[in-house]
Amino acid sequence: MNGGFVIGFGNNQDGIFGVNPTKPVTFHKDFVSIHSSFAVDVSRVSLGNDHCFFISKDNKIYFTGVNKHGQFGSVSHSKADKLTLFSNSLLKIQNAEAHLEHSVFWNDKGEIFTCGKGGLLGHAVDDQKSAPTLVAALKDKNIRLYCSGFRHSMAVDSQNNLYGWGKTELIGGGQFNKIKKVSTTTREPLYVEAAPFLNWKILKIACGDDHTLALVENGCVWGWGRGDEYQLGHGVKETRASPILIEPLKAFDIVHLSCGSNNSVLVNTNKECYVWGQWGNVIIQKPEIIGKALQTPIKHVEQIHQSQQYNIILTPNQEVYTFGADITVSKQDPWFPLKHKIDDPSLMYKKITQVAASSSNYYMIVYEGTPIHYSVEGINYANKELKVNKNLPSLAPQSKQSQNLNALLSKPTTTTTTTTTSSKYHNDDNDSNL
């Protein structure tokens, strides 16, 4: 076995592993080789609910799974039970990510194209797209960071402008209609003006189901969205409509942030991993070492990947753990990290370079791909105590801000739905928390 290849386990109902398509096995309790990956030299994988992208080291994109929402970005296939090459030379696509029920593609200019189920595609008309379609509001923006949760998406361009779309009160714009518990949906990307991001470059951004965390270049973390399960990390059970500084996280020199459905995770410079928020049936109000309840907690983490309720960890010793929703492979509490034994002799001297989880209860492990290292260029932890300068000019043109604000407050780009959430929302327009 030469080059990057992939093994997996878990739910195979959609034929995501491409194993014995004539006699498909719907669930693999043990590791199974994804044979069609062996000839590709895989760099990394990106997992959606029922589709998956395999990115090769020569930047070719392959997919497996089902295409019921058009998330392959190809109308030629309804299902792929082996790695199938994505081809669209006109768009000059260079990268792709699979999300829950949609996909995101980048071209050589950093513009993003989306397809799949409507809702978080970022288009004025909220319908399903079967082919990669340019997000017009971000044309020529050179998007360098992107994340998507269950109800919202966030993007950061090369000028450090932050954009959000989806459920309006989750994107950080400080807008929330408290009357009759009405929620609005912003279909197209909206520029989010927040003082901390005028001061410091956003280096990492992560979305949970209803919350977002951003690590900036002075080592601080800002958060917004739902906090009823303490997932924001500031030790208070409340939801914030605009970014606030997460003071307790100043104690950590963070190199990686990640969000599950209602929890959050950090990895520090010592490769220690901390979690807070909802952990199964337990609420963790302050960050604690992951697996603390175990007699032998996981002390060091090389990688962690979360997808809603499903999580996978790789340690520096090449050990693999999973935890989260019941994956039918654990007889103990599924939120206690379960160590997986990989005893295939042919893998003994192969290096794991990526672990990935899907919210549809399947996992993949990449061997000999492109190494993923948690490091942050340009960060200066010594500047954590610097105050926000609220008087800096906006990075985005004022006219664009006005357009976005008008769009948010008018009917054309929003739809109104009722929500049953009982969260306490705070409008932070007075900047009292900055």
Q: What is the 3-state secondary structure (H, E, C) of 62-108?
A: EEEEECCCCCCCCCCCCEEEEEEECCCCCCCEEEEEECCCEEEEEEC
C-alpha distances out from residue 398 to 191, 339, 404, Å = 11, 52, 10
pLDDT, tens digit (0-9, with 9 covering 90-100), for 178-189 = 444 556 899 999
What's the maximum distance between 2 C-alpha atoms anywhere in the chain? Answer: 64
Average pLDDT over residues 261-280: 95
- pLDDT value, residue 408: 39
What's the mean pLDDT in 382-402? 64
Comparing C-alpha atoms, which of 391, 411, 410, 390 is closest to residue 402?
Answer: 410
> What single letter denotes the amino acid at residue 55?
I
Quick one: what percent of the chain has pLDDT higher than 70? 84
β-strands 182-192, 352-358 pairing: unpaired
pLDDT at residue number 224: 97
* pTM exceeds 0.85, yes or no: yes
End-to-end alpha carbon distance in the chain = 53
Long-range (24+ apart) CB contacts under 8 A made by 383-386 are 383/217, 383/218, 383/219, 384/218, 384/219, 384/220, 384/250, 386/199, 386/218
Rounded Cα gap, residues 60 and 55, in angstroms: 6
Q: What is the pLDDT of residue 162?
A: 97
Over the chain, what is the mean pLDDT?
86
Residue 240 has a pLDDT of 94
For range 398-425, the mean pLDDT: 38
Q: From CA 6, how far away is CA 25, in angstroms rounded?
A: 18
Residue given tokens 């060091």 in the structure block = 300
Taking residues 342-350, report their average pLDDT: 91
Q: Which of 166-175, 206-215, 370-379 has the highest mean pLDDT?
A: 206-215
Give the count of alpha carbons within 13 A of 193, CB side only: 18
Residue 397: its pLDDT value, please?
47
Q: What is the pLDDT of residue 178?
A: 47
Token readout for 200 is 């410091």
Q: In the prediction, which pLDDT does 422 show?
A: 34
**Mean pLDDT on 305-311:** 96
C-beta of residue 51 within 8 angstroms of C-beta of residue 78: no
Residue 421 pLDDT level (bands cut at 50, 70, 90): very low
Residue closest to 136 by CA, chosen among 113, 159, 119: 113
pLDDT band at 389 (very low <50, low <70, confident <90, very high): confident
Residue among 283, 287, 271, 275 nearest 337 (CA): 275
For position 175, what pLDDT does the model report? Answer: 62
pLDDT for 21 beyond 80:
no
Q: What angle do CA 91, 95, 96 make, to 5 degrees?
A: 100
Cβ neighbourhood burial of 338 (10 Å; 0-12, 13-18, 19+): middle
Percentage, residues of the chain above pLDDT 90: 68
Pairing of strands 79-85, 352-358: unpaired
Q: Which fold has domain 1-140+339-373?
A: Methylamine Dehydrogenase; Chain H (2.130.10)
Q: Higher-confidence residue: 434 or 83?
A: 83
How many other C-beta atoms lie within 10 A of the C-beta of residue 55?
24
Q: Where are the domains of the chain?
A: 1-140+339-373, 157-302+374-434
Among 4-13, 67-76, 168-177, 412-421, the minimum mean pLDDT is found in 412-421
Least confident residue range of 83-97, 238-252, 282-296: 282-296
Q: Which of 110-119, 223-232, 336-345 has the lowest mean pLDDT?
A: 336-345
